[in-house]
Amino acid sequence: MKNPITSFIKWIKAKIKFYGGITALIIFSIVDYVKNPRGRKIANRVLTMQVFFTANLAIKIIGVVALALGAVTVLQLFTQLSKFGALGLVGQILNLVIVRELGPLITALIVISRSGTAIAAEIATMNINNEMDAIEMLGVDSLKMIVFPRIAGMTVSLMLLSVFFSGVGILGGFVVGNLLGGITFDNFIAYVIKAITFMDIFAAVFKAFTFGIFISAISIYHGFQAFSSTQVPIVTTNAVVSSIFAMFLLDIIITIMFYMG
């Protein structure tokens, strides 16, 4: 029978090694991009393609989910708050549900399912086919051309998509509020603007920024762990699980930093 303390220590060591590798991947790729100008133009083109792949191709589904979430949230709020004449709380609850919490989280989950899996599978395939070695032999820095554009591209995309999600979610809430309760646009905006502070917006964008960095780095890291074609689905699944775990952990930490510190 295994000693639970020994197993726990091994688990802690494994996590430290894993997150240490993730952090090193992030830091070294950024430092290499900033300090070494060679090949930066090509890296920027790859970064632009990553933004297009991650943000543009995901914007439709994120718009639909955000619109539905905003509509359902206000529908539930209107049903309950109208009984107590407390419709003024709609803005505060929309801010809490959409802007501060579910906006960044749901956006990140959608990006993980689409782009995180794609990055992990892409890197795994490149690693199996020895494309990374071929790139290095040609004098191309894989950190600058492969790693950094994917980290930066996903981070920029998540920040933009998170803001888009919040805006569309609030719009969906207004549509339902207007149809059900005749809430005017001016009154609805007054409720929302009064409730949302600069700190709320900054915290949401900061969450998206942090999620983007770690989700992309985790996907890349797991992709590098594949050494045969049979391991591609395994590392892809591991990338999703690790990304979701890291996302919720980071969400708790950031929420404590901004609102409970």
Domain that holds residue 91: 4-259
Q: CA torsion sign, 50 to 247 to 193 to 179?
A: positive
Give the pLDDT confidence score for residue 155 in this predicted structure.
Answer: 95
Give the pLDDT confidence score for residue 105 in this predicted structure.
Answer: 93
**Would you place residue 11 in the very low, low, confident or very high pLDDT band (cuts 50, 70, 90)?**
confident
Q: Work out the mean pLDDT of the chain and round it to a whole number.
A: 85
pLDDT by residue (tens digit) across 36-80? 888 788 888 989 999 988 888 889 999 999 999 888 887 777 766
pLDDT by residue (tens digit) across 137-146? 767 777 788 8
216: pLDDT strictly greater than 80: yes
Give the pLDDT confidence score for residue 1 in this predicted structure.
Answer: 55
Count structural domains, the chain. 1
Give the pLDDT confidence score for residue 136 in this predicted structure.
Answer: 73
Give the pLDDT confidence score for residue 181 in this predicted structure.
Answer: 67
Give the pLDDT confidence score for residue 88 in this predicted structure.
Answer: 62
198: pLDDT strictly greater than 90: no
218: pLDDT strictly greater than 70: yes
Give the pLDDT confidence score for residue 32 in this predicted structure.
Answer: 86
Give the pLDDT confidence score for residue 18 in this predicted structure.
Answer: 85
82: pLDDT strictly greater than 70: no
**Would you place residue 15 in the very low, low, confident or very high pLDDT band (cuts 50, 70, 90)?**
confident
